[in-house]
A and B are shown apart, each in its own frame.
Chain A
Amino acid sequence: GAGVSQSPSNKVTEKGKDVELRCDPISGHTALYWYRQSLGQGLEFLIYFQGNSAPDKSGLPSDRFSAERTGGSVSTLTIQRTQQEDSAVYLCASSTPPRGNQPQHFGDGTRLSIL
């Protein structure tokens, strides 16, 4: 499809395990974002990639969280030693370069449940 693709759609894992979440942005979109939505909350910014520039990691909640974007396209969000409070829906979005406040286009998210 032409939209943002995320996998897996659901992930259940035990506390303490590492998880990797994948995002495939819209073709041609150079900007990529990760957000998460905890139960009953709005979306919370995690990290932003734009082209070859250094990413803005200011929203990552702890050093257990990291993200990569290889080749300017696919991104992987990794959570190490997962905790129960990491349970949330993790959403990826992409856009054309954010000049003039272009809207961000979201994938359907990965629902992460930590047992």
Chain B
Amino acid sequence: DQQVKQNSPSLSVQEGRISILNCDYTNSMFDYFLWYKKYPAEGPTFLISISSIKDKNEDGRFTVFLNKSAKHLSLHIVPSQPGDSAVYFCAAYSGGSNYKLTFGKGTLLTVNP
């Protein structure tokens, strides 16, 4: 049972354009969400997070939006750069377990020069 879903296995965008990566979840107990970025043969690197009491969090070129009623979050990267090419994982903590992360399967982002 996939509680965190990233329905797009891959996404390709042009350098300088916006990248939008989507994530849906089914568990209403999730109250904190994180995005991780992963390059081949490396571990995931924390990128940005958002608490369920907010609907937006911004950090430089990266913005995460949360729509609780739709159980949907998205990561926007503006402007996209070739170095952003990586697999992006959406992950969530539930209120009852603030250490056990539940991950989506990831989306491979390719930013073309």
Instruction: Report A's interface with B, CB cutoff 8 A.
Output: 4, 31, 33, 35, 40-45, 48, 50, 56, 59, 91, 93, 95, 98-101, 103-109
Known: A42-B6, A45-B102, A106-B45. 8 other contacts (CB 8 A): A31-B99, A33-B101, A35-B103, A50-B99, A95-B99, A105-B46, A107-B43, A108-B41
Cβ of A101 and Cβ of B41 under 8 Å apart?
A: no
**Bound-state Cα–Cα, A104 to B93, Å:** 11
Chain A residues with CB under 8 Å of B98's CB are 98-101
Task: Report the separation of the CA atoms of residues A60 and B44 in the bound assembly, to the nearest whole angstrom.
Answer: 21
B41 contacts A42, C-beta separation under 8 Å: no
- List residues of B whose CB falls within 8 A of some A CB: 4, 6, 32, 34, 36, 41-46, 49, 51, 89, 91, 93, 98-106
Taking a contact as CB atoms under 8 Å apart, the answer to whether B99 and A91 are in contact is: no
Q: Are B100 and A48 in contact (CB under 8 A)?
A: yes
* With A48-B100, A103-B49 as contacts: A109 and B89 at CB distance below 8 Å: no
- A residues in contact with B105, CB < 8 Å: 40-42
A45 and B100 contacting across the interface, CB-CB below 8 Å: yes
Smallest CB-CB separation from B90: which chain A residue? A42
Query: A40 → chain B, closest Cβ, in Å?
Result: 7
Q: Are B106 and A42 in contact (CB under 8 A)?
A: yes
Q: Are B103 and A43 within 8 A (Cβ)?
A: yes
Complex interface: chain B residues within 8 A of A91 (CB): 43-44
A40 contact set on B, CB distance < 8 A: 105
B44 touches A42 (CB 8 A): no
- Please measure, in the bound complex, the distance between the C-alpha atom of A105 and the C-alpha atom of B4, giving whole angstroms: 20
Candidates B6, B89, B100; contact of A56 at CB < 8 Å = B100
8 example contacts (A-B, Cβ-Cβ < 8 A) are as follows: A33-B101, A42-B4, A44-B103, A45-B102, A48-B99, A93-B43, A101-B51, A108-B42
Give Cα distance in the complex from A44 to B106, angstroms: 12
- Is the beta-carbon distance between A43 and B45 smaller than 8 angstroms? no
Given contacts A98-B98, A101-B98, A104-B101, A42 and B43 within 8 Å (CB-CB): no
Query: Which 3 pairs from chain A and chain B are nearest by CB?
Result: A106-B43, A42-B103, A103-B46
